[in-house]
Amino acid sequence: MLKKAAALLDEATAAKRVAGAVLRVEIAGAVVHESAHGVTRYDAPARVSPDTWFDLASLTKILATTPAAMLLVQRGVLNLASPMRRYLNFGDTRQHRVPQNSFADRPVENFLRHVSGAAAWKPLFRAVPPDMLNSPAGKACIARALLAEQPATAAISPQVYSDLGFAMVGLALEEIARQPLHEFVAREIFAPLGIGELACLQLAPRPGLSIAATEDCPWRGRVLVGEVHDENTWAAGGCLGQSGVFGTARGVAQLAAEFLAAARGEGRLFSSATLARFLRAPTDVSGSFRVGFDTPNRQGSAAGSHFGPHAFGHLGFTGCSLWCDPDRRLSVVLLTNRVHPTRRNDALKELRPAVHDAIAAET
């Protein structure tokens, strides 16, 4: 038990800086800490447990979209250097009517590295007719809106974190795999690794299933429980390249263990060469993002100040994070529902690095 880290989360949930949290720490495949704190929601309180499922938000990027891309690269059907037009139709290519300033000619890798020029986020869901929301028809509307987007710059841009860029990657992967992203990930990643506590698409609440609530959503008019928080993803039926995965800390840790094994050349799905390719530091632009993954900033990192130079991971808007340090064979999964009942809650910005620093002090 990591007493200091657990105490910080106890204090934060008691003070309602976050509603609930689960912390899981593994070193060399052994669980050195797992604790649950707070409640799943304030209006109908139930204790969070290690079995509580969370909306993992942008952790989807490294739990689904990036691993899917890694597999398809290994299979030789995805070339990161290829222009996005190879996989997506941005216009009438037969008549060469693709707009000049288009995403079509930008390499897939640029979207994964957040240098595609795509905007961070836009409310694309507002253009979906009400009777098409949260359906395949809604996804088709979102896809058309994405393919109509124009980059803000004519050439490679500084790193600008972009949900829209990752959503485009998700669409491209679906074209390559010839199936929805959530089906490919469930069949080709979660099932072979025996991960039963990660799932794309939304969760149907049922007796005995603990789900952390997210926002009291003004647009949908309800507290969200088991339905994806991101509006664009919800409008598209629950899964895009940017978000849509739900899971427990145990489920996240299982995929983290595969990444750490791959770093040692012992991965069941991913080779060390593939992981190294996706974690290679860019030479053409500064920033913390690699191909799909994020890395800790040198100063002011959400991961604290003690992760090693080869660490990688990601954050999720709902209050979730995963950080891996291959040099220590360490993974830290911190899941919270900091957006409950409102996204106007920034307390996690100070809490999260403090928890990671406390872990470093006790391990």
Same domain membership, residue 24 and residue 172: no
The pLDDT confidence band at residue 154, using thresholds 50, 70 and 90, is: confident
Please check whether residue 352 lies inside any domain of the structure: yes
Residue 187 lies in a domain: no
Q: Looking at residue 91, what is its pLDDT?
A: 72
pLDDT at position 101, please? 60
Q: Which residue range forms the structural domain that includes residue 138?
A: 77-182
pLDDT digits (tens, 9 = 90+) for 329-351: 999 999 999 999 999 999 999 99
pLDDT at 94: 43
Local confidence band at 354 (pLDDT 50, 70, 90 cut-offs): very high
Does some domain include residue 177?
A: yes
52 and 177 part of one domain? no
The residue ranges of DSSP E strands in the chain, in sequence order, are 20-27, 30-38, 54-55, 198-200, 216-217, 222-223, 245-247, 312-316, 320-325, 330-336
**How far apart are the C-alpha atoms of 315 and 292, rounded to whole Å?**
12
Task: For residue 188, tell me if it sits in a domain.
Answer: no
Q: Are residues 355 and 219 in the same domain?
A: yes
Distance between CA 115 and CA 288 in Å, rounded? 12
- My answer on whether 208 and 101 are in the same domain is no
Choosing from 137, 159, 182, the residue where a domain stops is 182
Q: Please state the rounded mean pLDDT for residues 305-310.
A: 96
User: Are 281 and 210 contained in the same domain?
Assistant: yes
Q: Which residues have C-beta within 8 Å of that of residue 207, sequence separation ≥ 6?
A: none
Strand partners, 334: 23, 321
Q: Which of 128, 155, 182 is the last residue of a domain?
A: 182
Statement to judge: residues 56 and 204 lie in one domain: yes
- CB of 238 within 8 A of CB of 224? no
Do residues 206 and 338 share a domain? yes
pLDDT of 100: 57
Of the chain, the end-to-end C-alpha distance in Å amounts to: 10
Provide the number of structural domains found in the chain.
2
This model's pTM is above 0.85: yes
Indicate which CATH number applies to the domain containing 257.
3.40.710.10
- Using the predicted structure, report yes or no on whether residue 142 has a pLDDT greater than 60: yes
Three-state DSSP state, 110? helix
